[in-house]
Amino acid sequence: MHGVKNLIAALLAWEITTLWIHGERSYVAVATALLMVNASTVYRSVTQAVRSMATRAAGVSLALGTVWLLGSTAGSIAGIVGIALVAAGRRASDNRLQIASTAVLTLTAAAAAPVGNIVLTATAALSGAVVGVAVNALILPPIHLDESDDAIRDLARVMGELLRDMGHGLRERRHVARAHDWVQDGRSLGRRVANARERVQEGQESLRWNTCWAVRPQRRPVTYDDVLATLHGVSLQVRGIARTLADNVDDSHTEHHLGQQFLDRYAEMLKLAGQAVEAFVEVESAARPEEARAREGLREAILRARAWHETMTDLIGRGALVKPGAWHVYGSLMTDVERLLADLDHADRL
């Protein structure tokens, strides 16, 4: 279907342009139409078309004005570059370079062809842009909600697996060998959060000016703004847990090392926390009939994890699990889990 859209856009641009423009300028319209129809969203195809046309118009105007004042000389090129750099300012570096490049190309074309031919070429590009945007908007306009859904689920799955893996490693007494691997896995969460943010933003953008979605929305749009913010906070807590465990392994003071009873109980709590993270995403992505069941599963996972947290807090408070020299390690690990559960609980109640 993507190939069919490209073919339709190319043929329409060619047929419309050849009605009133002859020669090689029709190819300019086709190339511009293909560029616009391949934009990832309707909104982006419109903004790209507007930006491209504005840049070309500015470049052509700059070239024609410079030639009229200075003629086709080296001074014209210097004037074009100088005006483009000064007028665009510091921040619009890409735009000013495009304007300057368009102006220089226009200057070259003006030396070999009448000015009217340059205007016709620009008009052909405008026609192609209009055709490309129209085809992209009217024929299967792209929607990227599935991609954002997959990215969010993948992020939650990886965090849940990391929490469970840390729990399993603590239970099997393999944390000494695995702690630094957990730190690396925790750092990779930052890249996954950034990727999920890009996918979520693209999904939101794909709904803007989307004719198919506006006429017949197929399901509730889940754009995951709040979910991503919550998962980002959770990822920081997961990274904190992994780093604390690695630092404890590297600590040369044996009295700072974690007690066996604590490791066993904390391992169970990490397992429950991992289940809660994955259940949290299921609530947001579930269809209406399944939402209540998914939310019930999340509440159960949070309550079980909180129960373990309260039990451990009580045992630590009574001195049943604590080595006197490791109190700061216990406090850091317990605080990270408490914040993780608090973030999930708070987001679920909104």
What local confidence, expressed as pLDDT, does residue 322 receive? 63
Rounded-to-integer distance, Cα 290 and Cα 55, Å: 50
Residues 225 and 155 in one domain: yes
Do 87 and 164 belong together in one domain? no
pLDDT at 53: 79
> The pTM is what?
0.75
- The dihedral region occupied by 209, where left means phi > 0, alpha psi between -120 and 50, and beta the remainder, is left
pLDDT at 160: 93
Count of domains for the chain: 2
CA nearest 340: which of 249, 269, 260, 256? 269
Q: Which pLDDT value is given to residue 206?
A: 87
Domain check: are 219 and 325 in the same one?
Answer: yes
Residue at which a domain ends, from 104, 138, 172: 138
CATH of the domain at 313: 1.20.58.220
Q: Same domain, yes or no, for 212 and 334?
A: yes
Q: Hey, how many other C-beta atoms are within 10 angstroms of the C-beta on 344?
A: 24
Domain coverage including residue 163: 145-349
> Do 249 and 327 sit in the same domain of this protein?
yes
Last residue of a domain, one of 90, 107, 138: 138
d(CA 114, CA 125): 18
- The pLDDT score that the predictor gives to residue 326 is 67
User: Is residue 282 domain-shared with residue 314, that is, in the same domain?
Assistant: yes
Is 203 in the same domain as 283? yes
In this structure, the answer to whether residues 12 and 38 fall within a common structural domain is yes
Q: What is the mean pLDDT of each run of 10 residues along the chain (350 residues)?
A: 87 87 77 88 87 74 67 62 58 57 57 60 84 90 87 93 94 90 94 93 86 62 78 94 90 73 85 88 63 70 81 75 69 87 77
Statement to judge: residues 54 and 121 lie in one domain? yes
Task: Clarify whether residues 253 and 133 are in a common domain.
Answer: no
46 and 102 assigned to the same domain: yes
Half-sphere exposure of 194 (CA within 13 A, CB side): 5
Tokens of 66: 């410079």
Tokens encoding 100: 């300057």
Letter string b/e over residues 198-207, b meaning 16 or more CB atoms within 10 A of that residue's CB: ebbbbbbbbb
- Residue 323 is predicted with a pLDDT of 62
Same-domain pairing of 174 and 280: yes
Helix (H, G, I), strand (E, B) or coil at 38: coil
Please tell me the predicted confidence (pLDDT) of residue 223.
63
Domain C-terminal end among 86, 103, 138? 138
Confidence at residue 81, expressed as pLDDT on a 0 to 100 scale? 62
Residues in the chain: 350
The set of residues, in sequence order, having a beta carbon less than 8 Å from that of 230 and lying 6+ positions away, is: 280, 343, 344, 347
